[in-house]
């Protein structure tokens, strides 16, 4: 098995250089090639790639398995872990297992309620929330103890991440909420989609006033809108996601077959805008089912490929059984 050391994302953030992360959803099936085909376009472009954990409460291949497949393909993974599906015993076990098999980064989240997913009758767990899980992970790493107080025989060493939504109500509370996550153990945070750079800049001013940009690296979430159907879903079906009228008008003003290109253009512009905001340490690019567009977006935004020598393909012989 190929083990990733964690030097990519950790070193990038520590150096103060602008980081790039991206995101892939594991397949709704057992074919490892389906995940690798999504990950392949990101090789050499992203410092690390998130592998989601049943995002939206929809059943998919486990995040830890997808993270291993990504690592074997030479892509540094960020394993997402939600509180929705596991009690504190399983959460701690999965965290220990992630480090044991070479997964260097974890992103800890509360998770969407099952009522929003493909099996709304599923029983939610939520034994812990994201802040409690961040605290538990930091305690495991820094003090070598479980929540129960029992000592670990060896300590994990992952980089610990969290998520935040700068635009969710109530206004003025979100920076303070990030402060709780930073105090609990978050070393980096990836945000909800940013479509309003000015509003994001105002949130970042609050973050800087609290000194949080010095304690927790802020990675702005961005992504392209591919179609008007996707635009309508994002405006009405994604809680806490704000798309300004100006962006809506731009996307509706072009022919249907040009919406995707206009969406990538807007995304690249937003990357340039958030990159200029003090305290922003990077961008997290989310393009579900459209991962192949991410390199072009980054290039259009003036961001260079991380590893120009990366092989064109890593799909052969990478499957783990």
Q: For the chain, what are the domain ranges?
A: 7-224+277-292
Cβ atoms 175, 203 nearer than 8 A: yes
Six-digit token string for 11: 């070193």
Token pair 């949130």 in the structure block, residue: 203
CB atoms within 10 A of CB 215: 14
pLDDT digits 0-9 by tens, 218-237: 999 999 999 999 999 998 87
pLDDT digits 0-9 by tens, 136-150: 999 999 999 999 999
- How would DSSP label each residue in 132-187? HHHHHHHHHHHT-B-TTSPBPSS----EEEEEE-TTSSSTT-HHHHHHHHHHHT-S
Which distant-in-sequence residues (6+ apart) come within 8 Å of 114 by Cβ?
A: 57, 84, 120, 121, 122, 123, 124
pLDDT tens-digit profile, the chain (321 residues): 344 444 599 999 999 999 999 999 999 999 999 999 999 999 999 999 999 999 989 999 999 999 999 999 999 999 999 999 999 999 999 999 999 999 999 999 998 888 888 999 999 999 999 999 999 999 999 999 999 999 999 999 999 999 999 988 877 788 999 999 999 999 999 999 999 999 999 999 999 999 999 999 999 999 999 999 999 999 887 777 889 999 999 999 999 999 999 999 999 999 999 999 999 999 999 999 899 999 999 999 999 998 755 554 333 333 333
Q: How many residues are present in the chain?
A: 321
State whether the Cα torsion 107-113-116-121 is positive or negative.
Answer: positive
Query: Distance between CA atoms of 246 and 227, rounded to whole angstroms?
Result: 16
Token pair 């594991």 in the structure block, residue: 26
Residue 157: name the closest of 5, 310, 3, 316 by CA. 5
Out of 3.20.20.220, 3.30.930.10, 2.40.50.100, 3.40.50.300, select the CATH number for domain 7-224+277-292: 3.20.20.220
Predicted pLDDT of residue 192: 94
């Amino acid at each position: 098995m190929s083990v990733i050391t964690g030097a990519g994302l950790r070193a990038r953030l520590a150096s103060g250089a602008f980081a790039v992360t991206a995101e892939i959803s594991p397949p709704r099936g057992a074919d490892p090639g389906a995940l690798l085909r999504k990950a392949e376009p990101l090789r050499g472009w992203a410092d690390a790639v998130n592998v989601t954990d049943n995002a939206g409460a929809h059943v998919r291949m486990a995040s830890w398995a997808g993270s291993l497949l990504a690592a074997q393909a030479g892509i540094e993974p960020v394993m997402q872990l939600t509180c929705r599906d596991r009690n504190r015993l399983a959460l701690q076990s999965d965290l220990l297992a992630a480090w044991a098999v070479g997964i260097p980064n974890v992103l800890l989240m509360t998770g969407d309620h099952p009522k929003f997913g493909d099996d709304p009758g599923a029983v939610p767990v939520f034994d812990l929330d994201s802040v409690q899980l961040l605290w538990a992970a930091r305690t495991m790493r820094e003090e070598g103890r479980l929540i129960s107080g029992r000592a670990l025989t060896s300590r994990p060493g992952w980089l610990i991440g969290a998520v935040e939504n700068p635009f969710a109500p109530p206004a003025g509370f979100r920076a303070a909420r990030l402060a709780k996550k930073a105090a609990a153990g978050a070393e980096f945070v990836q945000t909800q989609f940013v479509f309003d750079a000015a509003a994001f800049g105002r949130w970042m001013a609050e973050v800087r006033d609290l000194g949080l940009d010095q304690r927790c690296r802020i990675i702005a979430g961005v992504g392209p809108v591919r179609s008007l159907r996707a635009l309508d879903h994002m405006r009405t079906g994604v809680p806490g996601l704000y798309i300004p009228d100006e962006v809506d008008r731009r996307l509706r003003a072009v022919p249907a077959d040009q919406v995707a290109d206009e969406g990538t253009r807007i995304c690249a512009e937003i990357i340039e805008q958030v990159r200029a905001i003090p305290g922003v340490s990077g961008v997290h690019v989310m393009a579900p089912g459209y991962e192949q567009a991410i390199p072009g977006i980054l290039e259009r935004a003036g961001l260079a490929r991380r590893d120009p020598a990366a092989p064109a393909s890593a799909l052969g012989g990478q499957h783990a059984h």
